[in-house]
Amino acid sequence: MSEITKDLVQNLESIAKQVRRDIIKMTGIAGSGHPGGSLSAVEILVSLYFARLKHNPMDPHWPERDRFVLSKGHAAPALYSVLSLCGYFPRDELWTLRKVGSRLQGHPSRLDTPGVEASAGSLGIGFAIAQGMAMAGKLDRKDYRVFVLLGDGEIQEGMVWEVAMSASNYHLDNFTAILDYNGLQLDGFIHDVMSPFPIASKWRAFGWEVFEVDGHDFYQLLEAFNEVERVRESPSIIIAHTVKGKGISFMENNNEFHGKAPTPEQVKLALMELGEVV
Amino acid sequence: MGVTKRSPREAYAKALIKLGEERNDVVVLDADLSTSTQTAKFGARFPDRFFNMGIAEANMMATASGLALSGKTVFASTFAVFATSRAYDQVRVAVAYAMANVKIVATHGGVTVGEDGATHHAIEDIALMRVMPNMRVLASCDYESTYNLVLRIAEESGPFYLRLTRVSLPDIYPQGERFEIGGGKLLKEGRDVTIIAEGPLVHEVLTAASMLENIGISAEVIDSYSIKPLPEELILDSVSKTKKVITAEDHSIIGGLGGAVAELLSEKMPCPLKRLGVRDTFCCSGEAYALLRHLGLDSEGIAREVKNFLDKF
């Protein structure tokens, strides 16, 4: 359990701002990518990597480490930024995203990028891979925890509910999902495309312990990460209410930026909003 | 004929238990077919290392990857149709792309599944797995080849697809025979034609070859238990002598062993080739060997096809 101090949260907030700047620049330079769903996941990833996960960037395969799997793999820019800030690879590599020869693939690839635990991005798959890691942890009586980030559109995939059933069946209390509940998917609002409502009671019905937080509030996120430690015999899910495109006025709740990079002009505007002198 | 027939599935279970005894890292997953695939025997012996994932093959394959990425050697089993076409994307992304140490051992390959009919006949599985980068594809043809191939793939890191039949098969190999990845076995020497077979058709081809011998046709027979990588040298050596090739498989003639051999020969040693197998159609219900007869894939049908093929020259 980590103590949630004001200093810690202030530090995380400044890291989050840096991650947002990275996401804008990376996707801007690449000319493609998924900025909206990367920006909604920033506080979740920053709080995990800088305040919650046991991990060691100098030894990415340390057997005792906690695992994190980005099942909504299209948020890869957010993950890469966080990994580079942790020191898994040089910051310069961020600007090679999606280019031929880069270690930073469009979607996470474990064989390419130091710190990436699983290859994922075809939705639903990372969730089951993470489950397998949690099962191995139980089998080996290790006390690491496995976290996985799901998109809210992703839970339309049938296999998500196969995993929901089996993780509960196997009492994986070392397994925590976080739902990036930003309400939008490529084609529009999730409830217009294919309603997954009611969300919380579905997970409860599958035997999961459910927590709901503001996914941009570090106090609430860190508190929830402490809470999941206390759950016994069931997996847990933190439903994180987020805003797609969070932090950039013209990207917020605008699903145009689900899978489209900002133009050079938009990059400039966004960086100004994020306090960078260009 | 007093041929001993034994079940490849029982050989699989026996090999799994041996592996389970020798190695703590071996974990087995099944999708509610464990009493049929025989992985239940491993489960009874090593309950902590056996996970029944229920009727959820997609979940099973990606979960297998997570276990493998955490240091386990994972065997994942179900029927061949479900292991491949049902869970294709999961095998592709979580197993093959990730180079996860997952051994997919699928039972019920081909039309020799029999009475369950076309929904349960895996006639595309070899093609589907063969086209996937990083995936190595093997097919056993009797009890000993199954037992030894299972042990062999456990020694080698990374993804494998091993195809077993539902039906019991006549013994071909002696105990302790060693099978290399990328290898094949020259089972009979001959001069006039090379017949390359997989799975249950290996025995049919051997029988056909003795029939052909009686009418003066000398056929060379190769068991290509490794379909990817293909035993290229063995095949090319044989073909450089016979100059004519027949492939025989319990699978579609498109994309499987016949496809692989056609690709090899057209690039390296163009020569007349005839592919025997399921001819781009869904098959039907029926007893396994009645279906092989129906498709002309029993020993008599194969002998007839070989003779017709050679008559053209």
pLDDT category at A3 given cuts 50, 70, 90 is: confident
Q: What is the pLDDT of residue A266?
A: 97
Cβ proximity of A114 and A89 under 8 Å? yes
Query: Do B17 and B108 lie in a common domain?
Result: yes
Residues of chain B with pLDDT > 90, as a percent, come to: 99
Tell me, what CATH number does B277's domain have?
Answer: 3.40.50.920
A176 pLDDT more than 70: yes
Cβ proximity of B242 and B190 under 8 Å? yes
Report yes or no: A167 at the B interface, CB cutoff 8 Å: no
Report if residue B54 sits inside a domain.
yes
Query: Do B144 and B203 lie in a common domain?
Result: no
For B261, other C-beta atoms within 10 Å of its C-beta total 25
Report if residue A42 sits inside a domain.
yes
pLDDT category at A276 given cuts 50, 70, 90 is: confident
Final residue before a domain boundary, out of B120, B136, B170: B170
Report if residue B178 sits inside a domain.
no
Q: Two tokens at A158? A: 């049938």
Residue B132 DSSP one-character state = S
Nearest CA in chain B to A109: B98
pLDDT category at A2 given cuts 50, 70, 90 is: low
User: Within its chain, how far is the Cα of B224 from the centroid?
Assistant: 9
Report if residue B177 sits inside a domain.
no
The tally of domains found in chain A comes to 1
Beta strand A67-70 pairing with A209-214: unpaired
- Closest alpha carbon to A57 in A117, A104, A118, A114: A114
Nearest to A118 among B51, B58, B98 (CB): B98
> Mean pLDDT, chain A, as a whole number?
97
Final residue before a domain boundary, out of B120, B145, B170: B170
pLDDT category at B3 given cuts 50, 70, 90 is: confident
Beta strand B226-228 pairing with B136-139: antiparallel
Q: Which residue range forms the structural domain that includes residue B200?
A: 185-311
A1 pLDDT more than 90: no
Q: Is the peptide bond before B231 cis (omega within 30 degrees of 0)?
A: no
Cβ proximity of B60 and B31 under 8 Å? yes
Query: Do B160 and B272 lie in a common domain?
Result: no
Rounded to 10 degrees, the C-alpha dihedral A179/A182/A188/A189 comes to 90
- Closest alpha carbon to A271 in A15, A16, A23: A23
Q: What is the pLDDT of residue B2?
A: 59
The phi and psi torsions of B33 (rounded to 5 degrees) equal -125, 20
Query: Do B166 and B189 lie in a common domain?
Result: no
ipTM: 0.96
Catalytic residue list of B? 57
B302 pLDDT more than 90: yes
Report if residue B179 sits inside a domain.
no
Tell me, what CATH number does A192's domain have?
Answer: 3.40.50.970
Burial (0-12, 13-18, 19+ Cβ within 10 Å), A19? buried
Q: Which residue range forms the structural domain that includes residue A215?
A: 6-273
Residue contact A63–B71, C-beta within 8 A: yes
Query: Do B210 and B145 lie in a common domain?
Result: no
Nearest CA in chain A to B65: A129
Tell me, what CATH number does B111's domain have?
Answer: 3.40.50.970
For B207, other C-beta atoms within 10 Å of its C-beta total 18
Cβ proximity of A7 and A222 under 8 Å? no
Query: Do B20 and B140 lie in a common domain?
Result: yes
Report if residue B176 sits inside a domain.
no
Query: Do B207 and B231 lie in a common domain?
Result: yes
B307 pLDDT more than 70: yes
Residues 6+ apart with CB under 8 A from B82: B31, B57
Report if residue A1 sits inside a domain.
no
Query: Do B90 and B116 lie in a common domain?
Result: yes
Query: Do B129 and B68 lie in a common domain?
Result: yes
Contact list, A172 vs chain B (CB under 8 Å): none
SS3 content of chain A, % helix, strand, coil (to 5): 45, 10, 40
User: A113: left (phi > 0), else alpha (psi -120 to 50), else beta?
Assistant: beta
Final residue before a domain boundary, out of B170, B205, B222: B170
Q: What average pLDDT does the segment A6-26 reach?
A: 97
Report if residue A126 sits inside a domain.
yes
Report if residue A278 sits inside a domain.
no
Query: Do B52 and B158 lie in a common domain?
Result: yes
Report if residue B175 sits inside a domain.
no
How do residues A188-199 score in pLDDT, each as one tens digit? 999 999 999 999
How many CB pairs below 8 A link A and B? 104
For B124, other C-beta atoms within 10 Å of its C-beta total 18
Report if residue A63 sits inside a domain.
yes
The tally of domains found in chain B comes to 2
- Closest alpha carbon to B311 in B212, B185, B225, B236: B212
Query: Do B21 and B133 lie in a common domain?
Result: yes
End-to-end CA distance of chain B: 34
Cβ proximity of A107 and A76 under 8 Å? yes
Query: Do B220 and B153 lie in a common domain?
Result: no
Q: Two tokens at B144? A: 């000993």
Tokens 């949630």 identify what position? A4
d(CA B32, CA B43): 12
What is the nearest CA distance from A172 to chain B, expressed in angstroms?
Answer: 13
Report if residue B180 sits inside a domain.
no
User: Within its chain, how far is the Cα of B12 from the centroid?
Assistant: 13
